[in-house]
Structure 1
Amino acid sequence: MLKFLRSTATLVVVVIGLVGVALVLYAWRLPPFTSSVQTTDNAYVRGQVTVISPQLNGYVAEVAVQDYQRVKVGQLLVRIDDRIYGQKLQQAKATLAAQKAALANSEQTRRSNAARIKSSEAQVDSAKAALTAAEANWERIEPLRARGVTTQKEADQARASLDQARAALSQAQAAVEIARQDLASTLVNRQSLEAAVQGAEAAVHLAEIDLQNTRIVAPQDGRLGEVGARVGQYVAAGTQLLAVVPEKIWVVANFKETQLAGMKAGQPVTFTVDALEHASLSGHIERFSPAAGSEFSVLKADNATGNFTKVAQRVPVRIAIDAGQDLAESLAPGMSVVVSVDTASKDSSKDIASTGTVHDE
Structure 2
Amino acid sequence: MPDDNPAPSDQATSDQSETPSKDAAQNEQNDKDKDKDKDSGGTLRKHPILLIIGAVVAVGLIIGGILYWLHARNFESTDDAFVDAHLVQLAPQINGRVTSVTVTDNQLVHAGQMLVTIDSADAQTKVAQTQGQYAQAVGQLKNARAQIHVDQDTYKQALADVAAAQASADNAARDLARYHALVKLNVSAVAQQQYDKARADAQSTAAQRNSALRAAQAKLDQVRASLTQVSAQKGVVDAAKSQIAQANITENYARIAAPVDGHVAQLSVAVGNYVQPGSQMLAIVPLGIYVTANFKETQLALMRPGQPATIVVDSCPGQTLHGHVDSIQRGAGQAFAILPPENATGNYVKVVQRVPVKIAFDALPKECVLGPGMSVEPTVRVR
> Is it true that 1:46 corresponds to 2:84 in the alignment?
yes
| Aligned amino acid, residue 117 of structure 1 | Y
Structure-1 residue corresponding to 2:106: 68
How far 1:150 sits from its partner (Å)?
6.4
For 2:355 and 2:175, locate their aligned partners in 1 and report how far apart those are by CA, in whole Å: 111
Structure-1 residue corresponding to 2:142: 104
> Is it true that 1:225 corresponds to 2:244 in the alignment?
no
Task: Please give the residue correspondences for 1:164-175 in structure 2 after superposition, counting only pairs within 5 Å.
Answer: 164-175=204-215
> Is it true that 1:330 corresponds to 2:374 in the alignment?
no
Q: Secondary structure at the match of 1:298?
A: coil
Equivalent pairs counted in the alignment come to 318
Correspondent of 1:254 among 289, 294, 298: 294
| Aligned amino acid, residue 113 of structure 1 | D
In structure 2, do the counterparts of structure 1 residues 299 and 129 end up closer, same or farther at CA, with 3 Å as the change threshold?
A: closer
Contact 2:315–2:369 (8 Å) recurs in 1: no
How far 1:79 sits from its partner (Å)?
1.2
In structure 2, do the counterparts of structure 1 residues 332 and 148 end up closer, same or farther at CA, with 3 Å as the change threshold?
A: closer
Contact 1:41–1:338 (8 Å) recurs in 2: yes
Structure-2 residue corresponding to 1:92: 130
| Aligned amino acid, residue 43 of structure 1 | A
How far 1:244 sits from its partner (Å)?
0.7
Contact 1:269–1:339 (8 Å) recurs in 2: yes
How far 1:323 sits from its partner (Å)?
2.2
TM-score between the two structures when normalised by the length of structure 1: 0.76
Q: Secondary structure at the match of 1:254?
A: strand
Deviations 1:77-124 (A, max 9, x none): 111211111111111121122222222221122111111111111112
> Is it true that 1:77 corresponds to 2:115 in the alignment?
yes
How far 1:243 sits from its partner (Å)?
0.5
Deviations 1:228-258 (A, max 9, x none): 1222323222222110111001112222233
Contact 1:40–1:338 (8 Å) recurs in 2: yes
Structure-1 residue corresponding to 2:48: none
Between 53-62 and 83-92, report the one with greater CA deviation. Answer: 53-62
Q: Secondary structure at the match of 1:276?
A: coil
| Aligned amino acid, residue 268 of structure 1 | P
For 2:358 and 2:261, locate their aligned partners in 1 and report how far apart those are by CA, in whole Å: 22
Structure-2 residue corresponding to 1:181: 221
For 2:302 and 2:131, locate their aligned partners in 1 and report how far apart those are by CA, in whole Å: 66
In structure 2, do the counterparts of structure 1 residues 125 and 262 end up closer, same or farther at CA, with 3 Å as the change threshold?
A: closer
Structure-2 residue corresponding to 1:267: 307
Correspondent of 1:123 among 127, 141, 161: 161
Contact 1:78–1:217 (8 Å) recurs in 2: yes
Between 112-121 and 129-138, report the one with greater CA deviation. Answer: 129-138
For 2:116 and 2:325, locate their aligned partners in 1 and report how far apart those are by CA, in whole Å: 39
Contact 1:141–1:150 (8 Å) recurs in 2: no
How far 1:138 sits from its partner (Å)?
6.0
For 1:129 and 1:253, locate their aligned partners in 2 and report how far apart those are by CA, in whole Å: 97
Q: Secondary structure at the match of 1:341?
A: strand
Identity among equivalent pairs (%): 35
| Aligned amino acid, residue 253 of structure 1 | A
Task: Please give the residue correspondences for 1:153-168 in structure 2 after superposition, counting only pairs within 5 Å.
Answer: 160-168=200-208
Contact 1:282–1:322 (8 Å) recurs in 2: yes
For 2:126 and 2:205, locate their aligned partners in 1 and report how far apart those are by CA, in whole Å: 62
For 1:160 and 1:122, locate their aligned partners in 2 and report how far apart those are by CA, in whole Å: 23
In structure 2, do the counterparts of structure 1 residues 230 and 140 end up closer, same or farther at CA, with 3 Å as the change threshold?
A: same
How far 1:181 sits from its partner (Å)?
1.4
Q: Secondary structure at the match of 1:275?
A: coil
| Aligned amino acid, residue 237 of structure 1 | P
Larger Rg: 2
- CA-atom RMSD, angstroms? 3.3
Contact 1:40–1:339 (8 Å) recurs in 2: yes
Correspondent of 1:212 among 252, 276, 296: 252
- Which runs of 5 or more residues in structure 1 are unaligned? 8-29, 345-361
Between 210-219 and 318-327, report the one with greater CA deviation. Answer: 318-327
For 2:170 and 2:309, locate their aligned partners in 1 and report how far apart those are by CA, in whole Å: 107
Q: Secondary structure at the match of 2:377?
A: strand
Structure-1 residue corresponding to 2:242: 202
Contact 2:88–2:285 (8 Å) recurs in 1: yes
How far 1:343 sits from its partner (Å)?
3.7
Between 170-179 and 251-260, report the one with greater CA deviation. Answer: 251-260
Q: Secondary structure at the match of 1:271?
A: strand
For 1:160 and 1:99, locate their aligned partners in 2 and report how far apart those are by CA, in whole Å: 53
| Aligned amino acid, residue 321 of structure 1 | F
Which protein is richer in helix relative to its size? 2
